[in-house]
Chain A
Amino acid sequence: MVFTRTFNWPFGLLASNLGHMKIAVCIKQVPDSWAEKKMVGGLLDRANVDAVLNDLDEYAVEEALRIAEAHGGNEEGGANTVTVISMGPERATEAVRKALSMGANDAILISDAVLVGADAVVTAEVLANVISKGEYDLVICGTESTDARMSVVPAMMSEKLGCAQLTFASKVTVDPGAKKVSITRVTEAGVDEVHGEFPCVISVVEKINEPRYPSFKGIMAAKKKTIDIRDFASTGAEFTKSWSAVIDAAPRPPRATGVVVTDDGSAGQKLVDFLSEKKLI
């Protein structure tokens, strides 16, 4: 077990001291959540399936844009910038482009063959390194990707960055002058009011907002926006080795066919009989 250092961001260099916010949004390209997914060689087959911007990341992009717009905007000449950060194959530029067409300013995509099959620890390590170098005030994420569904990367990045973890937010309030952020955290354990200062990592829950559809103008503008594609070495991350691995994967056998009855007025009672037979009541 090795304890590695956490980053201490140089506060004097924070963008917010210069009068504007640098916001990063972490996104992931995932197989369409309406599509069947398969494992090949211990990894999710990402090549032969429609790929989209993770549903839950759209809320993060929207929230970042709303925060920027509420405090001076992020259009040309605006006070703030919204940068999309992603890790994935080059094909992930499609998902990145969608976030740009919603209104983000620019993007960084870390794409490298050594990162194929990276686990959550490696993913968080790489993203945290890129974020640390970019000196962002706010890092905004969705709560999980619809493929791996781990919900751990925002907390991991916060740990690595040594900054406040403001996750599972159903409401985010930002005070750029005081460099303070307050959120309402909603989980199975209840509702918490949580506060932190810049810089911080935020994750937002589904339905925090209504993500905008990219406008025609936004789609055209996104084509001209910069996607800075970086390799693993440029991130300065310390490792690529994954700490967990899949041993095997197999489709589950289909469920045995059950009984289907058509209601003739007695189906309600038949249902009760079934539950009783199965000792479910």
Chain B
Amino acid sequence: MSTVLILADFAGEKATKATVEIATAGAVIGEVTALVLAPVGKGAAYAASITQGPVTKVLVIESDDFTKHGVAACADALAHVIGQTTPSAVLVVSNAFGKEVAGRVAMKLKIGIITDAVDIASDCTATQLVFGGSTTVHSKVAEGTGIITVRPNTITANFAAATPLIENITAPISDSSKKATITSSQPPVKGGRPELTEANIVVSGGRGTNGDFASVEAFADSLGAAVGASRAATDAGWYPHSHQVGQTGKTVSPQLYVACGISGAIQHRAGMQTSKNIVVVNKDPEAPLFELADFGVVGDLFAVLPPATEGVKALKA
């Protein structure tokens, strides 16, 4: 049976939901082996956090080079394991770190790379949604093992309990991969809300907020949602640029996307139109985003959101 190698993704010492998602995607192709790259002394804890998903084996490599030299050192280790195990495919989570590791591995081994897959078939054909989700593309690597990065929140994860075999191995890290040195790392500021790209619900504000995001945030909090913003809102300095959804910001595909006071230029649609359900609140009945709306409200967000927030709270109470 063919095997699939996944690079396990962690937040702190815990495997993320995205790890379960890529394991689920990989299981369609073959037996899934997860590679865990951990600092010295942490391998067992990292591996033990892989408790869900169709993972049959976990390979653990411990090295402080992973935290000290980041992407380049991790790419060396992953490339080494690919060389040793020749899997049918290699799956990595599509975040900045995962994409860069995949890029270096593709360059090192001269293998094909496909980024931001939203689905993978048993013959390793990847489905991508490009140009802001307006076009569906099927891609495949030309020959041999390919490395595919999978966009978080697009694969329905199989959370079945996992009891994988755990094996400790080693991998050489080259000197040229130690040329960038990380001297300090701060985890992302959570602020109590979920991460934008991983959230099941995103509530975004645009020009129509006039800089007042309080109603948008209150509605988001009632739903346990992440808060996003249009480029107009971040350009105006109303909301941090790290929350920008769109062509030059984050791409999100949550179960529910609520756009408040956002007209819906292509720039913004590119980042959100693959959302499963879209709600639009805008004063302007001509706002182009209404074309994408499953439910639209022509109205002032400051009049619509507060009663909606109370309604959600009442329903959840």
Chain A residues within 8 Å of B, Cβ to Cβ? 1-4, 6, 33-39, 55-56, 119-121, 124-125, 146-147, 149-153, 155-156, 158-160, 162-168, 185-197, 200, 206-207, 239, 241-252, 254-256, 258-263, 265, 267-272, 274-276, 278, 280-281
Interface string of B176-217 (1 = CB under 8 A from A): 100111111111100000010100010000000000000000
Q: Whole-angstrom distance between the alpha carbons of A243 and B124 in the complex?
A: 14
Q: Report whether A269 and B308 are in contact in the complex, using a CB–CB cutoff of 8 Å.
A: yes
Contact of A55 with B110 at beta-carbon distance under 8 Å, contacts A267-B304, A271-B297 already known: no
Name B133's closest neighbour in chain A (CB-CB): A252
Q: How far, in whole Å, are A2 and B107 apart by their CA atoms in the complex?
A: 10
CB within 8 Å for A243 and B142 given contacts A56-B248, A121-B112, A150-B115:
yes
Does B66 sit within 8 A of A, measured CB to CB?
Answer: no
In this complex, what residue of A is CB-closest to B292? A255
Q: What would 6 more interface pairs be, CB under 8 Å, given A155-B107, A168-B96, A260-B290?
A: A33-B267, A167-B100, A206-B248, A243-B112, A244-B112, A259-B296
B57-65, B68-76, B155-163 - interface stretch? B68-76
Assembled-state Cα–Cα distance A242/B96 (Å):
23
Q: Is B51 in contact with chain A by the CB < 8 A criterion?
A: no
Chain B hits for A250, CB < 8 A: 135-136
Q: How far is the CB of A52 from chain B (nearest CB, A)?
A: 12
- In the A-B complex, list the 3 residue pairs whose CB atoms are closest, starting with the nearest: A263-B299, A152-B103, A268-B307
- The answer to whether A121 and B107 have CB atoms under 8 Å apart is yes
- From A35, A185, A186, A245, B140 is in contact (CB under 8 Å) with A245
Give chain A nearest CB distance to B203 CB in angstroms: 11
Q: Is the CB of B95 within 8 A of A189?
A: yes
| B113 contacts chain A at the CB level, 8 A cutoff | yes
- Separation of A247 and B137 alpha carbons in the complex (Å): 7
A-side contacts of B95, CB under 8 Å: 187-189
Residues of chain A contacted by B311 (CB below 8 angstroms): 268-269, 271-272
Q: Does B141 contact A (CB under 8 A)?
A: yes
What are 17 residue pairs bridging A and B, where the CB atoms are less than 8 Å apart in the complex?
A1-B110, A2-B110, A152-B103, A158-B72, A159-B72, A162-B179, A186-B242, A194-B182, A196-B180, A239-B110, A250-B135, A252-B129, A255-B291, A275-B223, A278-B256, A281-B223, A281-B315
With the chains together, A103 CA to B110 CA distance in Å? 36
Q: Mark B285-307, 1 if CB is under 8 A from A, else 0.
A: 10000111111111110011111
Which of A3, A192, A244 is the most central at the interface, judged by chain B CB atoms within 10 Å of its CB? Answer: A244
CB–CB B99/A194 < 8 A = no
B88 CB to closest chain A CB (Å) equals 14
User: A241 and B142 in contact (CB under 8 A), knowing A165-B100, A259-B295, A275-B312?
Assistant: yes
Contact of B293 (CB < 8 Å), options: A36, A149, A258: A258
CA gap between A43 and B68 in the complex, in Å: 39
Let me know if A260 and B296 touch, CB within 8 A.
yes
Which residues does chain B contribute within 8 Å of A153, judged by CB atoms? 103
- Contact code string B41-71 (vs A, CB < 8 Å = 1, else 0): 0000000000000000000000000000011
Which residues from chain B sit less than 8 Å from chain A, CB to CB? Answer: 70-72, 75, 82-83, 95-97, 99-104, 106-116, 125, 129-131, 133-142, 144-146, 176, 179-188, 195, 197, 201, 223, 234, 241-242, 247-249, 251, 255-256, 265-267, 270, 273, 277-279, 281, 285, 290-300, 303-312, 315-316
Point out the residues of chain A lying under 8 angstroms from B234, CB to CB.
Answer: 207
Given the contacts A37-B134, A165-B71, A280-B255, A120 and B113 also touching, CB distance less than 8 Å: yes
Bound-state Cα–Cα, A189 to B101, Å? 14
Q: Given the complex, which residues of A lie within 8 Å of B298, measured CB to CB?
A: 260-263
| Across-interface contacts of A160 in B (CB, < 8 A) | 107
Candidate in B115, B138, B180 with the most chain A CB atoms within 10 angstroms: B180
A261→B106 contact, CB < 8 A? no
Q: Which residues of B contact A248 (CB under 8 A)?
A: 137-138
Tell me whether B134 and A192 are in contact (CB under 8 A): no
> Which residues of chain B have C-beta atoms less than 8 A from A152's C-beta?
99-100, 102-103, 106, 113, 115
